[in-house]
Structure 1
Amino acid sequence: MLLDNTDDFHLLETCESRGIIIQYRVYGYKIDRLLQASILIEQCSYRLMKLAKEVEKEANTESNNPFRLQKLFGEMLEVLYSLLRENNQKKEGLWIDKVLHYIHLHFREELTREQMAKKAQVSPEHFSRTFHKHTGYTYSEYLTLLRIRESQKRLLFTMPKLDELAEEVGYNEGTYLSRKFKEKVGVSPTVYYQKSKRVLALNTNHTACLLALGITPVLGVYSPFLEGIKPVPNTHKLKGYEYDIASNYQAITEACPDIIINYSGGDEKPLLLSVAPIFELPCRELSWREQFGLIAHIVDRQEVCKSWLQQYDEQIAQCNDILDQQHGARGTAIVWEIGSHQAYCLNSSHGRGSHILYEDLGFSRPAAIVTRNIEQTGYLTVDIEDIAYFQADYIFVTALPTKDFGKEHLLRVLHSEKWQSLTAVQKKQVYFLNQYELFYGYDPLSTAMQLQKLMEVLTS
């Protein structure tokens, strides 16, 4: 416990606890109030307790070193201060996260700073300081930002009457929305609706969707596979295989996108909101076809999307005719991606070719993975040696270990009696594709190429 006044503090005699009371007084106007406020420390580190006992021991013994007590006390205060600051930041983080989550859900309603401070159980002044520290905006500025970004998202699909749009995002009248919109976006809602949108994609799948629609994003994430299809200047590429907002923030800002496409649930959302509206797609809830269709709607390329999917479905029909002639009934298939330490079995929602096998080509999931609830979880993680225990008529391996440890582990499995007894092994229906970059994609372009590779091995 940290008390600003011990005069009224009494440890009950009936209590079996033992405590050490160390009194000190803080001087100086620059001293942090963390060491002056009354606080109950919920979790105390072993080091802090040990230092407190050493201070007590030193204070009660005669020492030849008059500065040792000062040194121990200073160390104890330093550790105490670090602990208090960490606890304070955690508590701040908890309430600010809850408040932001609430505001993102209810920004269309009448929300005052005082209401939010009451919900956070802090004073309005403390709320304002902390809110600005975490978001870079005042509370009213952030609320306005959310409403304007929502207006921009609505204008991607339709141009409603301004009064209707204002009511939908939390304003009373269209003229006020129009003024705020122009202040933030630089153009009126009508001009924004009519203009061609500059799109930025924060992952390879959505970059591929745009490319399939004939649009090169102003900035996008490109896998080596995508770069092989569509070489683009470095000025159009975000650094890294998977995006990193911190290192790319300046490039994102300079690209001046009208819309940012990303998967939902990212921690970077508040940071990106300052740049443009974020169109979020739930990756596990939508198939690649549904994501493709939504992006086509955003960029007004619905007919291109429809034509592309029609051609793909015609190709699927041809492939099924070939497989009917060569294989007849499909049987079960399993897809493995093998890393250095573990193996991953993938379901349709995670792609890797499984969406083609199960949804398009008529293969079924083996009972061994169905009983492990893979249709709900989307994937299954097992030790490498356990892949020999999953029976299937066809086995597809889309990636192999890159490190020697994993390679040796896999070789032992492949030479084991258990592996050799599998139906797919005995029928020579195990296919080592080992094209991670290609099969990683869950998008139109990757899917079309994955279909081609799967058909090559199935008909060879």
Structure 2
Amino acid sequence: MPSASPPDRSATPVHTLLHAERHLCIDKLEWLLPQAHTLVWVESGMGTLTVNGKRFSLSAGACFYAWPGMEVAAAPFFNETVLYTLTFERLTGRAAEADQISYTRSAHGFAGWGELTLPAGDRLLALARELAQKSSAEGERPAARRSYLFHTLMYELTVANEPHPLQDGSTDQIIHEIMQYIQVNYAKPLKRSVLAQMAGLAPEYFSLRFKQVSGLSLTDYIAALRIRHLQERLLFDETRLHIAAREVGYRDEHYASRRFKQEVGLSPTSYAQAPKRILSLNPHLTLHLLALGIMPVATVSYPWGFGDYEHQLRDGGCVCRDWTTAFTDEELAALQPELIIGIDDLEPERVQAYRRLAPTLVIPWYGQDWRGHLARLARVTRRTEQAQSWLASFDQRCFALREQLQALDILRQSLLIVNIRDASSFIYCHRGMGTQLVYHELGWAMPLALQQLDLAGAPLPIAPEQILQRFRAEHVILITEPSPQAVARTETMLYDSRWESCRSQGMRIHTAAMSRWHGYDPLSILSQLQDLETWFDFSLS
């Protein structure tokens, strides 16, 4: 019996990975690859991504696709966005001649260019991250792993972005998939007839089921998405209305303005300038708000509270929640925030949930120092003048203390910052625990052994008994977590003979409250400045 002929797969594209790379996007970043397809994943940060002249909102967890020859440009809203790019070829029309196989590059994509629909969860982002990490590894096994990761990723993206009717699953599941499609493609023309066809439902029944599942009519659901993105562009990027309206799917600026007022209750211009009910998901950012004269409607707090500002927050009606216990979705909705702020430790799925509730600003924590964070929040809340005034007053006070310490030749004496917690202890030299003020604003000397370490911003874990073995300093700022276990560990350390010997030889120990020295924000740094003034008997008299 003759064997069956193999199927002709000459028209089936073959995907070949070219390169995977991680980018730290501080300024505008541009690509133009004439022959390669490009996928761009957003790990953290916010901003805009322009593909082929069309601008999209850039937020954590999103994925974008550019066909060959399309210009791609990423522009962060503020200083830092982390992106992963995968470049690959689509090869078709292979022809075999002797021992050679030839291919033709395809300029058409496996899906439409722009923002892609993603399956639930952040699994594909994890695959892109691992591909970038393993991009330069040599050998058969790393190459096989890269091939597996890339083709797994391409399969799931292809399935998620197929333009076929959604025949599988319950009607509720199909409607949820349509909702996800709309969330990605909100800026495109969206017709009920096309969406109903995708769902495999009659248009009238589709409208009925869509409202039952989403809680909104199709028209109102699309409008709410577009208005939310319009709010974020007006607040975060200060885009002109006629440009922002077009980017979110409105061709008519005047219609967009009327629809905006219907949804929000204010004109776009009035909305951008009006005070907001702000929910803070980070206690550092909460104290930034207080420095700007803004009382948040609710905030997460440190386990030890806000110290000197605890009563101010509670008297101002702010709902404070320990950061170990998150607000539920029901609690968040009841608070009716008009702006949500957080840092880039938030899960992408949570960011999307927050954005459905209110415009959400995600600040890359390591992208800027505390001054940059303050400037960004001031810009969004229209408090730039207040921020500049606060900084001018602080800088004057900081300058005066620095001049006094220099006159006494104290800044040349080494200073060590130690933090003792329940079951751990750390040496700090970058970001937090007063390091910004002590080492960077005042220019105090670190112990030489600490300067020689490359800690890349992270605190150094260390056992209390090893501190003086590794680092000797003329001044130690000792910050203890306010718990019985941490206090007991500190007392045991200080009673050690080596500490007593160093004190007898002139080492000065300055004990500090964690509630005043933990924060990386204007008010915490001001508290730290006040403590230094007290310890060194200095005042602005």
TM-score category, normalised to shorter length = 0.5 to 0.7
Cα distance between partner residues in 2 of 1:334 and 1:227? 27
Aligned-residue offset at 1:168: 4.0
The 5-angstrom pairing of residues 281-430 of structure 1 reads 281-349=363-431, 351-374=432-455, 376-389=456-469, 390-400=471-481, 402-404=483-485, 409-420=489-500, 422=502, 426-430=505-509
Q: Write out aligned runs for 1:127-142 (5 A).
A: 137-141=179-183
Instruction: Compute the displacement of 1:451 (Å).
Output: 0.9
Which one of the candidate residues 277, 280, 300 is aligned to 2:359? 277
For the pair 1:447 / 2:485, whether they are aligned, the reply is: no
Q: CA-to-partner distance for each residue in 1:184-240, whole Å, 9 max, x for gaps?
A: 545553442343333222222222122222221222345331544614348521322
Label 1:360 to 1:166 Cα distance change in 2 as closer, same or farther (>3 A).
same
* CA distance in 1: counterparts of 2:292 and 2:275, whole angstroms: 14
Rg bigger for which structure? 1
CA drift at 1:367: 3.0
- Pair 395,278 (structure 1): closer, same or farther in 2 beyond 3 Å: same
Instruction: Please state how far the C-alpha of 1:453 moved relative to its aligned partner.
Output: 1.0
- Is this contact kept in 2: 1:356–1:447, CA < 8 A? yes
What's the CA shift for 1:361? 1.7
Q: Could you tell me how far apart the structure 2 residues matched to 1:131 and 1:287 are?
A: 45
Matching of residues 43-62 of structure 1 within 5 Å:
none
* TM-superposition CA deviations, 1:387-432 (whole Å, max 9, x none): 122222211111157344x55554454344544555x762131222
Deviations 1:154-200 (A, max 9, x none): 21267654441134446655467557655754555344234333322
RMSD of aligned Cα (Å)? 3.9
Which amino acid is 1:244 matched to?
A
- The change in CA–CA distance for 1:338 and 1:112 in structure 2 (over 3 A counts) is closer
**Which residue matches 2:159?**
121
Amino acid at match of 1:215: I
Q: Secondary structure at the match of 2:287?
A: helix
Distance (whole Å) between structure 2 residues aligned to residue 427 and residue 136 of structure 1: 71
Structure 1's 287 and 130: CA in aligned 2 closer, same or farther, altered over 3 A? farther
Mapped partners of 2:117, 2:411: distance in 1:
64
Map 1:47-86 → 2, pairs under 5 A: none
SS at match of 2:299: coil
Per mean C-alpha deviation after superposition, the further-off stretch among 390-399 and 309-318 is 390-399
Instruction: Kindly provide the amino acid, as one letter, of the partner of residue 453 in structure 1.
Output: D
Q: Is the counterpart of residue 260 in structure 1 residue 219 in structure 2?
A: no
- Change in 2 beyond 3 A, CA 1:168/1:380: farther
Structure 1 residue identity aligned to 2:355: L
Residue 103 (structure 1) aligned to one of 36, 40, 62: 62
Higher mean C-alpha deviation, range 222-231 or range 376-385: 222-231
Relative distance call for 1:199 and 1:366 in structure 2 (3 A) is same
Give the equivalent residue in structure 1 for 2:307. 225
Partner residue in 2 for 1:456: 534
- Going from structure 1 to structure 2, the CA distance change for 1:242 and 1:285 (only over 3 Å counts) comes to farther
Cα distance in 2 for residues equivalent to 1:407 and 1:446: 22
- Conservation of the 8 A alpha-carbon contact between 1:132 and 1:139: no
Normalised to the residue count of structure 2, the TM-score between the two structures is: 0.57
Equivalent residues in 2 for 1:98-247 (5 A)?
103=62, 110-111=114-115, 119=157, 121=159, 125=166, 137-141=179-183, 143-144=185-186, 148-156=227-235, 160-169=239-248, 174=253, 177-178=256-257, 181=260, 185=264, 187-222=266-301, 223-228=305-310, 230-233=312-315, 235-241=317-323, 244-246=326-328
The question of whether the paired residues in 2 share the 8 Å contact of 1:213 and 1:301 is answered with yes
Indicate if the aligned counterparts of 1:398 and 1:436 stay in contact, CA closer than 8 A: yes
The 3 A distance-change label for structure 1 pair 148 and 330 is farther
Amino acid at match of 1:165: A
Would the alpha carbon gap of residues 166 and 329 (structure 1) be closer, same or farther in structure 2, given more than 3 Å must change?
same
Q: Provide the rounded CA distance (Å) in 2 between the counterparts of 1:152 and 1:439.
A: 36
1:321-344: CA deviations, max 9, x gaps? Answer: 221233444332111110122211
Secondary structure of 2:362 counterpart:
strand
Identity %: 25
After TM superposition, give the deviation of residue 384 of structure 1 in Å. 2.3
Higher helix share: 1
Partner of 2:90: none
Q: Greater strand percent: which structure?
A: 2
